[in-house]
Copies of this chain bind each other. A is one copy, B any other.
Amino acid sequence: MPKSYSCPVELTVDVVGGRWRTVLLAHLKEGVHRYGELRRLTPGISEKMLSQRLRELEADGLISRKDLGTVPPHVEYDLTDEGRSLTPVLQALYDWGVARAERTGVSIDVP
């Protein structure tokens, strides 16, 4: 049965919600990244979660996966047009995070 939503926000949360999806999208918003780069940019994520989330985002049409087929392996992830349509959302989340960090005195240590 098809899922239905009672509010547009609910739909959005269903797509970009969860612990890691948004963070990964935010990193890809900065440009193409390899698997290992995303892992390094996202401390705390396990390889299992990284793989799972990337495949979900790919299935939802938000990111593209390009396997260069080389040895050693080289895989690049990028936002699709659909993913890029999230830019205002990602920017709003980013901006609020910065302001909230200042207000609450929390520090953000970029890798």
Contact = CB atoms under 8 A, between A and B. Distances in A.
B13 A108 contact: no
Contacts of A15: 100
Interface stretch (A47-55, A63-71, A72-80, A91-99): A91-99
A72 B43 CA distance: 49
A98 to B, nearest CB: 5
Interface residues of A, number: 48
A3 B35 CA distance: 25
A36 interface: no
A1 interface: no
Contacts of A98: 8
B5 A93 contact: no
The 7 closest A-B pairs by CB, nearest first: A8-B97, A12-B97, A92-B92, A9-B26, A11-B97, A89-B92, A12-B93
